[in-house]
């Protein structure tokens, strides 16, 4: 196998110079750099990052632990993380904790054993064991989506304001019985979205009715059951809010099964926009999370932490966008426009007409 010494000999320079060219650790004269790169190309040399790690104690890798990777929301987060990591010269090791606290603790340990330089983790509903494992070993970590406490670096979208906004929109359209299909208990996203629901009701003088709130466990089957339960109430809701994209699917299944038409029989507004939300009939009124930006912000926070291990912990909150379509019962205002092409106003209404 070709070594750095072979490259140095072919280029007529020292091994240290080859190293400076490869690692950008010192300025090298352009003709020397060209000779080194030429020798690397001719000899087919590939740097051995494992050998480099032994010297630097850095692997230039980031461990990412995110459940539900097939959910478009998390897939987009992953894209944001991957792009940011690549730009900074880091590779990614990806694991799926399956939203299971024991599995989560295990995959985080595996990533640490691989000596990733830092981790980005979307915690489960019971993250204490995993958080303690990382804290005891002082592993630079950024938590994402679900918050674990402001003594940690963490990044997530706004949750309370956007749900308050959905309730407000439905209330202003005349609905007084607004149901919520809520997520998995224990997740900060669930707590905050339920809080936004309650605040929205209060702001519009509507009482909180426990029979209008049902837990959908953050997934489709749970939401299907929750929707059946909500609609079996003596005085059923005339509008529903679903607290994530997977639950929107379950709720739509239940509504179809019950023969209910959206929005004629019941209005629907969802947390999470996804690329085909405007292909549904009716087109889904939704809150769009800045998923890629969440991933990119997590990488930035982690790189900051690696550069300044003692800086105070930071929580980054990113604004969502209200994408106004027709499942809420409003009239068609404009032709379908893909979310990416719409104007984004932090916590404001997106007007697809412009």
Question: 57 vs 70, which CB is nearer to ligand HPA?
Answer: 70
82 near ligand HPA, rule: CB under 6 A: no
Return the residues of window 284-323 that contact ligand HPA according to CB under 6 A: none
Choose one: 132-140, 243-251, 275-283, 307-315; the region binding ligand HPA (CB under 6 A): 243-251
189 near ligand HPA, rule: CB under 6 A: yes
Which one among 19, 61, 71, 141 touches ligand HPA, defined by CB under 6 A? Answer: 71
Cβ 271 to ligand HPA shortest distance, Å? 7
Q: Are 227 and 193 in contact (CB under 8 A)?
A: no
Cβ 226 to ligand HPA shortest distance, Å? 15
Q: How far apart are CA 225 and CA 271, in angstroms?
A: 18
Q: Which residue is nearest to ligand HPA (CB)?
A: 244
272 near ligand HPA, rule: CB under 6 A: yes
Report in angstroms the alpha-carbon separations of 321 from 163, 231, 332: 11, 28, 19
218 near ligand HPA, rule: CB under 6 A: yes
145 near ligand HPA, rule: CB under 6 A: yes
The dihedrals phi and psi of 315, each to the nearest 5 degrees, come to -110, 125
17 near ligand HPA, rule: CB under 6 A: no
Question: 184 vs 301, which CB is nearer to ligand HPA?
Answer: 184
Choose one: 89-97, 106-114, 241-249, 250-258; the region binding ligand HPA (CB under 6 A): 241-249
Choose one: 8-16, 28-36, 162-170, 238-246; the region binding ligand HPA (CB under 6 A): 238-246
Q: Which of 47, 84, 4 is nearest to 303 (CA)?
A: 84
Which residues form the interface with ligand HPA (CB under 6 A)?
71, 73, 145, 189, 218, 244-246, 272
């Amino acid at each position: 196998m070709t070594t750095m010494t072979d490259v140095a000999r072919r280029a007529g320079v020292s091994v240290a110079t080859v190293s400076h060219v490869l690692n950008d650790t010192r300025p090298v004269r352009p003709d020397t750099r060209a000779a080194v790169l030429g020798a690397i190309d001719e000899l087919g040399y590939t740097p051995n990052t494992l050998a480099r790690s032994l010297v630097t104690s850095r692997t230039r890798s980031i461990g990412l632990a995110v459940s539900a990777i097939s959910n478009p929301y998390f897939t987009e987060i992953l894209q944001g993380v991957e792009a940011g990591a690549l730009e900074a010269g880091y590779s990614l090791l990806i694991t799926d904790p399956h939203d299971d606290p024991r599995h989560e603790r295990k995959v985080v340990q595996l990533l640490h054993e691989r000596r990733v330089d830092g981790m980005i983790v979307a915690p489960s509903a019971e993250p204490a064991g995993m958080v303690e494992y990382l804290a005891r070993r002082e592993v630079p970590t950024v938590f994402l989506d679900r918050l674990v406490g402001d003594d940690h670096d963490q990044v997530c979208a706004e949750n309370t304001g956007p749900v308050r906004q959905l309730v407000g929109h439905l209330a202003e359209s005349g609905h007084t019985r607004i149901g919520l299909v809520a997520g998995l208990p224990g997740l900060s996203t669930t707590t905050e979205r339920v809080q936004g629901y309650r605040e929205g009701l209060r702001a519009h003088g509507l009482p909180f009715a426990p029979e209008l709130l049902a837990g959908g466990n953050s997934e489709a089957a749970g939401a299907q059951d929750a929707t059946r339960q909500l609609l079996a109430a003596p005085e059923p809701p005339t509008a529903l809010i679903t607290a994530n994209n997977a639950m929107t699917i379950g709720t739509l299944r239940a509504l179809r099964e019950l023969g209910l038409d959206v929005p004629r029989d019941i209005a629907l507004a969802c947390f999470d926009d996804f690329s085909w939300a405007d292909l549904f009939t009716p087109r889904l009124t939704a809150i769009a999370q800045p998923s890629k930006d969440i991933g990119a912000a997590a990488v930035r926070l982690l790189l900051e932490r690696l550069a300044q291990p003692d800086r105070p912990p930071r929580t980054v909150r990113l604004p969502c966008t209200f994408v106004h379509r027709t499942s809420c019962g409003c009239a068609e205002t404009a032709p379908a426009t893909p979310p990416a092409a719409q104007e984004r106003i932090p916590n404001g209404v997106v007007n697809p007409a412009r």
